[in-house]
Structure 1
Amino acid sequence: MATNSALKNQLANKQDAPKKVSAQSLGLKALLSTPTMKKKFEAVLDKKSPQFMSSLLNLYNGDQGLMKAEPMSIVSSALVAATLDLPIDKNLGYAWIVPFYDSKKGHTAAQFQLGYKGYIQLALRTGQYKAINVIPVYEGELVKWNRLTEEIELNLDGATSDKVIGYCGYFKLVNGFEKTVYWTREQIESHRIKHNKLKDKKALNGVWKSDYDAMALKTVLRNMLSKWGILSIEMQKAFTEDEAEHEVKDITEDSSVIDGDFEIVDDEQSEQPIDTEQTEVSFDDVQ
């Protein structure tokens, strides 16, 4: 028969044991406050980790759609951006964390999407590109385009309206090789509809709905670089991760539980923005 002393010791050991909670049951704030997640971001970003996590929480608090997404999918997407060392502020246009409804799994998840500025940034880091750009072409600006020779003539002062009729991409390598591509608005739309995951293929969603031109520019740039550009290991990773769907269970060291001391926060207290200038992430006022 167990003595009182033995029972007390057993209870004390249980109280001292690390808490184990399903990662999927945590809100974003509580998930990021766990030692496991802090270590993951610190391993990638080092001293920049607190600022990046602050920007992630600010992004989350300012996006009603993202608040409905699985927290683990948000973290997964954020870690991709962190690995590529790209900011996730959607106003900057380097990378986006976009919520979408997964009809197969019956829930909303987040997805990492690379912006055209992100592709340009990664290309410049290789040191192989002397020049790279992509622009919208307005009605009246296109003088001549030869699909075979890829010779294009634009009159950038000749716009007759604000209507975008196409998108032009260009790069020149330090070795002298250069490439120019031009997509009509109709070609962009055909590509968008073909790859649209919605049942209504013509419906706009995500960044295509909020910033059509940015996604069109990205489409042209991505296609051009993938066919003719020099791709570093980092750029190859970006191409693979862009708009990829991940299993959220792969984010933690243990796919089912997260160990550590943390506080589950009431969602009603998670609406307040945080100060991105702080040197440490505070998990007391936001989720």
Structure 2
Amino acid sequence: MATNEGLKNQLSNKQEGTRQVAAQNLGLKSLLNTPTMQKKFEQVLSKKAPQFMASVLNLYNGDPNIQAAEPMSIVSSAMVAASLDLPIDKNLGYAWIVPFYDSKKGHKAAQFQLGYKGYIQLALRTGQYKGINVIPVHEGELVKWNRLTEEVELNLEAATSEKVIGYCGYFKLINGFEKTVYWTRDEVEAHRIKHNKAKDKKSLNNVWKSDYDAMAMKTVLRNMLGKWGILSVEMQTAVTEDEKEPEIKDITEESNESNIIDYPFEGVQEEKKEAVLEQDEIVFE
């Protein structure tokens, strides 16, 4: 194991005011403040990078569940959203950073999830869609639905209650092609249970628990676009990331020392510098 003296010698060639530390030893705020991370977000978002990184911290500070997640997983999830130029404010519904429990590693991590509004936004960016939407259908609004011809008739003024009985998606391309789909709530629920990775398949978790309708509309929209829509490379990337198994990625560098990043020490108390150096000894075993 490297000693403090040996470690300091190894870092002596670094630029004044910075040291190399293991990314996993830093909290989220410190991780985002490193030159390495700032550079990566600037490469993706340019001038919008500071505002986006601030939104990551706001999300983190306002959600105890995300605070319990491994910091690098939060950053890597945020980077996916940044690459798609989608906001991560969960109230907007474009994209979410969702914490989950990694049973293999015994701690919480974060995962990127695309919202239904994110799908709509990416579809509109292709320039191929004249219109696209998805809505919940309340009791009394459905007049007729033909599963074979996919003709649906709705009376949106005839709702008899707030109970949602299904979800309807629609798009029309600029070439005139249009598609309408309708899923009953039971069909959505069957799909959710089938793809639920929790031990209790019927359990509601994460966004399904906090905003069932948003996830249901996303399910209908994603299925519709996947079968009949025009998917740009950006949309294909989004779908792939959205469907990936949860995993923690280190996005610092593409090298054998990917967990080592520059950390600014200016203005940090000496005892805190030494604490970081002591923690970092494990990297150089």
2:198 is aligned to: 198
1:115 is aligned to: 115
2:229 is aligned with 1:229:
yes
**Deviation per residue, 1:204-224 (Å, 9 max, x gap):** 000000000000000000000
1:58 is aligned to: 58
**Deviation per residue, 1:228-273 (Å, 9 max, x gap):** 00000110110011142465343111422212324899xxxxxxxx
Q: What is the CA distance between 1:19 and its match in structure 2?
A: 2.1
Would the aligned equivalents of 1:249 and 1:255 in 2 still touch at CA under 8 Å? no
Q: Rate the CA distance shift 1:205–1:246 in 2: closer, same or farther, 3 A.
A: closer
**Deviation per residue, 1:123-148 (Å, 9 max, x gap):** 00001001100000000111110000
Q: Rate the CA distance shift 1:86–1:149 in 2: closer, same or farther, 3 A.
A: same
- In 2, the alpha carbon distance for the partners of 1:51 and 1:82 equals 11
2:261 is aligned, of 234, 241, 258, to: 258
2:33 is aligned with 1:33:
yes
Q: Rate the CA distance shift 1:19–1:210 in 2: closer, same or farther, 3 A.
A: same
Percent identity at matched positions?
78
2:136 is aligned with 1:136:
yes
Helix, strand or coil at the partner of 1:260: strand
1:79 is aligned to: 79
- In 2, the alpha carbon distance for the partners of 1:86 and 1:69 equals 21
- In 1, the alpha carbon distance for the partners of 2:265 and 2:66 equals 22
- In 2, the alpha carbon distance for the partners of 1:92 and 1:34 equals 28
Structure 1: any 5+ residue segments left out of the alignment? 1-9, 266-287
- In 2, the alpha carbon distance for the partners of 1:87 and 1:178 equals 28
- In 2, the alpha carbon distance for the partners of 1:68 and 1:163 equals 35
- In 1, the alpha carbon distance for the partners of 2:143 and 2:224 equals 22
2:220 is aligned to: 220
1:273 is aligned to: none
Amino acid at match of 2:100: F
- In 2, the alpha carbon distance for the partners of 1:76 and 1:20 equals 20
Q: Rate the CA distance shift 1:56–1:180 in 2: closer, same or farther, 3 A.
A: same
Q: Rate the CA distance shift 1:242–1:13 in 2: closer, same or farther, 3 A.
A: closer
Q: Rate the CA distance shift 1:238–1:263 in 2: closer, same or farther, 3 A.
A: farther
1:67 is aligned to: 67
Normalised to the residue count of structure 1, the TM-score between the two structures is 0.85
Q: Rate the CA distance shift 1:90–1:83 in 2: closer, same or farther, 3 A.
A: same
1:92 is aligned to: 92
Q: What is the CA distance between 1:197 and its match in structure 2?
A: 1.2
Normalised to the residue count of structure 2, the TM-score between the two structures is 0.86
Q: What is the CA distance between 1:11 and its match in structure 2?
A: 7.5
Structure 2: any 5+ residue segments left out of the alignment? 1-6, 269-285
1:42-53 alignment runs, 5 A limit: 42-53=42-53
**Deviation per residue, 1:142-172 (Å, 9 max, x gap):** 1110000001111111111000000000000
**Deviation per residue, 1:60-92 (Å, 9 max, x gap):** 000000000010000000000000000011111
Amino acid at match of 2:39: K
- In 1, the alpha carbon distance for the partners of 2:86 and 2:34 equals 23
- In 1, the alpha carbon distance for the partners of 2:136 and 2:247 equals 36
Q: What is the CA distance between 1:107 and its match in structure 2?
A: 1.2
